[in-house]
């Protein structure tokens, strides 16, 4: 093939969250002149396609029948229709960001953006539930997809090591391409207040899920308040199911019956997350299962001192630009909080290091690496 390749993207399963954000940012940074493709054709539900950037080289193919469809209906559509549509559109390669593909089209490149299906202990946190069953099924479908894929994109070295441990997935087909960070998050690190009488506003942006360990965070920060005598304010931001939100409210009332130091806002639009960071003094992240969390990159770009779980890819991304803790140990969280708040100099050092490291993370770099891989696979 000598002409510029036509790229297809299966966005049927990108219904929200980091996967949708990745696609929006990736296409926003795409450029046929720089990346050597001719056209990008995207199949997806209308509400997903409406959020994509408008470019003359991006063809949107809405699949309206799948707007409210189940995962089984979307999978059937992949099998019955997507491969035919991709061939009819003249696609030379298909990108599958959602990680599961049941069609016959080749070549295709899959992405591994969710570690929960591949980490058995993390799936077990959901007990006997439909969510755990869904994650187990997702493991089977993604394992099959990755075995058949012409290439697989992992978001970090940690994610690659988890995926390549699965038998039958060719190691040489795995590439690491991290996410980027939106430029509106970039803020120079602020001077750190050295007054012990000033409140310290700790921000934790994350869905309310078992592997995010909100209960340990609340207990750890509560103990740090009592031991240090400091006015630590904890702000929780993120979506939740009704049941988990009720449990969180009960936990908040148990530790903060007067509602004086814990606030939970629920979900905040992606366009407003940077405002949350501007109002915070410290960023916290307590997840134990991640591929490449966007929020960590955004914390770094925002110039905030960071308290982070030492699990998953966080040490790989942050290096020395964080104080680490065990997300399942209240006392470990307490010790990390106390260590960070005790020294304005240390907070400044961490914030500067994180901000400097974030300079290497951009959606332009992500797009360059992604389209170079897609072009190579198409031409092969």
Q: What is the spatial distance between Cα 118 and Cα 2, in angstroms, rounded to a whole number?
A: 38
Q: Give a yes or no: residue 266 inside a domain.
A: yes
Position 50 pLDDT exceeds 70: yes
pLDDT band at 275 (very low <50, low <70, confident <90, very high): very high
Q: Give a yes or no: residue 1 inside a domain.
A: no
Lowest mean pLDDT across 12-16, 27-31, 131-135, 211-215: 12-16
pTM, to two decimals: 0.93
Q: What is the spatial distance between Cα 161 and Cα 335, in angstroms, rounded to a whole number?
A: 30
- Same-domain pairing of 22 and 68: yes
In which region does residue 94 sit, left (phi positive, over 0), alpha (psi from -120 to 50) or beta (all else)? beta
- Same-domain pairing of 305 and 293: yes
> What are the structure tokens assigned to 82, written together?
């997507």
- Same-domain pairing of 135 and 223: no
Q: What is the spatial distance between Cα 172 and Cα 175, in angstroms, rounded to a whole number?
A: 8
Pairing state between β 282-285 and 151-154: unpaired
Position 45 pLDDT exceeds 90: no
| pLDDT for position 128 | 93
Q: Residues for the chain: how many in total?
A: 380
| pLDDT for position 8 | 96
Q: What is the spatial distance between Cα 209 and Cα 222, in angstroms, rounded to a whole number?
A: 20
Q: Give a yes or no: residue 125 inside a domain.
A: yes
- What secondary structure, in 3-state letters, does 222-264 show? HHHHHHHCCCEEEEEECCCCHHHHHHHHHHHHHHCCCCCCEEE
Please list the alpha-helical segments (H only) found in the chain: 17-28, 32-35, 46-49, 71-77, 83-88, 120-123, 130-148, 157-164, 214-228, 242-255, 273-278, 294-301, 314-318, 330-341, 344-358, 363-379
Higher pLDDT, 66 or 4: 4
Read off the pLDDT of residues 285-302 as tens digits, 9 standing for 90 and up. 999 999 999 999 999 999
pLDDT band at 72 (very low <50, low <70, confident <90, very high): confident
pLDDT band at 80 (very low <50, low <70, confident <90, very high): confident
- Same-domain pairing of 40 and 131: yes
Task: Return the DSSP state at 53.
Answer: -
> What are the structure tokens assigned to 24, written together?
């929006």
Of 156, 189, 212, give the one whose Cα is nearest residue 300.
Answer: 189
| pLDDT for position 12 | 87
Of 12, 24, 14, give the one whose Cα is nearest residue 52.
Answer: 24
> What are the structure tokens assigned to 7, written together?
């790229």
| Structural domain total, the chain | 2
| pLDDT for position 212 | 98
Task: Return the DSSP state at 292.
Answer: S
Task: Taking residues 174-187, report their average pLDDT.
Answer: 93
Q: Give a yes or no: residue 241 inside a domain.
A: yes
What are the DSSP E strand ranges found in 37-82?
39-44, 58-62
Q: Which residues contact 75 (CB under 8 A, 6 or more apart)?
A: 100, 102, 141
Find the CATH number of the domain harbouring 78.
3.40.50.2000
Lowest mean pLDDT across 107-121, 146-160, 263-277: 263-277
Position 198 pLDDT exceeds 60: yes
| pLDDT for position 69 | 65
- Same-domain pairing of 82 and 10: yes
Structural domain boundaries enclosing 104: 6-180+362-379
Count Cβ atoms within 10 A of the Cβ of residue 100 and give its class: 0-12 exposed, 13-18 middle, 19 or more buried.
buried
| pLDDT for position 36 | 87
Average pLDDT over the chain, rounded to an integer: 92
Q: Give a yes or no: residue 73 inside a domain.
A: yes
14-18, 64-68, 130-134: range with highest mean pLDDT = 130-134
| pLDDT for position 77 | 84
Distances (CA, A) of 166 to 122, 161, 169: 16, 9, 6
- Same-domain pairing of 325 and 301: yes
Position 74 pLDDT exceeds 90: no
| pLDDT for position 189 | 93
Q: Give a yes or no: residue 101 inside a domain.
A: yes
- Same-domain pairing of 334 and 247: yes
> What are the structure tokens assigned to 249, written together?
């409210």
Q: Give a yes or no: residue 277 inside a domain.
A: yes
Task: Taking residues 23-30, report their average pLDDT.
Answer: 92
Kindly provide the b/e burial profile for residues 170-180, where b requires at least 16 CB atoms within 10 angstroms of the residue's own CB: eeebbbebbbb
- Same-domain pairing of 246 and 196: yes
Read off the pLDDT of residues 225-266 as tens digits, 9 standing for 90 and up. 999 999 999 999 999 999 999 999 999 999 999 999 999 999
| pLDDT for position 2 | 56
- Same-domain pairing of 282 and 223: yes
Position 43 pLDDT exceeds 90: yes
- Same-domain pairing of 35 and 61: yes
Position 18 pLDDT exceeds 80: no
Q: Give yes or no for a contact between 368 and 179, defined as CB atoms under 8 angstroms apart.
A: no
Q: Give a yes or no: residue 372 inside a domain.
A: yes
- Same-domain pairing of 190 and 332: yes
Position 5 pLDDT exceeds 70: yes
> What are the structure tokens assigned to 280, written together?
């915070």
- Same-domain pairing of 174 and 228: no
């Amino acid at each position: 093939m000598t002409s510029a390749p036509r790229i297809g993207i299966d966005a049927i399963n990108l219904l929200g969250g980091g996967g949708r954000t990745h696609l929006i940012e990736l296409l926003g940074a795409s450029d046929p002149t720089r990346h050597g493709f001719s056209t990008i054709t995207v199949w997806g539900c209308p509400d997903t396609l409406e959020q994509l950037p408008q470019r003359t080289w991006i063809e949107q193919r809405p699949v309206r029948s799948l707007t409210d469809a189940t995962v089984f209906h979307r999978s059937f559509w992949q099998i019955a229709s997507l491969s035919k549509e991709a061939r009819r559109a003249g696609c030379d390669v298909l990108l599958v960001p959602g990680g599961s593909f049941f069609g016959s089209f080749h070549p295709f490149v899959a992405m591994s953006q969710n570690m929960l299906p591949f980490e058995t202990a993390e799936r077990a946190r959901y007990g006997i539930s439909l969510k755990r069953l869904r994650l187990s099924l997702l493991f089977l479908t993604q394992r099959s997809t990755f075995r058949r894929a012409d290439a697989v994109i992992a978001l970090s070295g940690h994610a690659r090591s988890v995926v390549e441990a699965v038998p039958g997935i060719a190691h040489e087909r795995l590439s690491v391409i991290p996410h980027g960070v939106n430029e509106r998050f970039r803020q120079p690190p602020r001077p750190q207040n050295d007054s012990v009488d000033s409140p310290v506003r700790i921000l934790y942006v994350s869905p309310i899920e078992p592997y995010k360990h909100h209960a340990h965070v609340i207990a750890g920060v509560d103990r740090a308040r009592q031991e240090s005598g400091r006015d630590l304010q904890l702000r929780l931001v993120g979506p939740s199911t009704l049941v988990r939100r009720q449990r969180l409210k009960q936990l908040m009332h148990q530790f903060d019956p007067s509602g004086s130091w814990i606030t939970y806002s629920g979900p905040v639009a992606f366009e407003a997350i940077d405002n949350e960071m501007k109002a915070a003094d410290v960023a916290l992240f307590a997840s134990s299962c991640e591929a490449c969390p966007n929020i960590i990159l955004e914390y770094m770009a925002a110039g905030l001192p960071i308290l982070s779980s030492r699990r998953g890819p966080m040490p790989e991304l942050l290096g020395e630009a964080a104080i680490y803790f065990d997300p399942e140990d209240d006392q470990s969280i307490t010790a990390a909080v106390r260590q960070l708040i005790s020294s304005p100099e240390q907070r400044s050092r961490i914030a500067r290091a994180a901000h400097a490291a974030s300079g290497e993370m951009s959606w332009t770099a992500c797009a360059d690496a992604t389209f170079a891989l897609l072009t190579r696979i198409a031409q092969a």
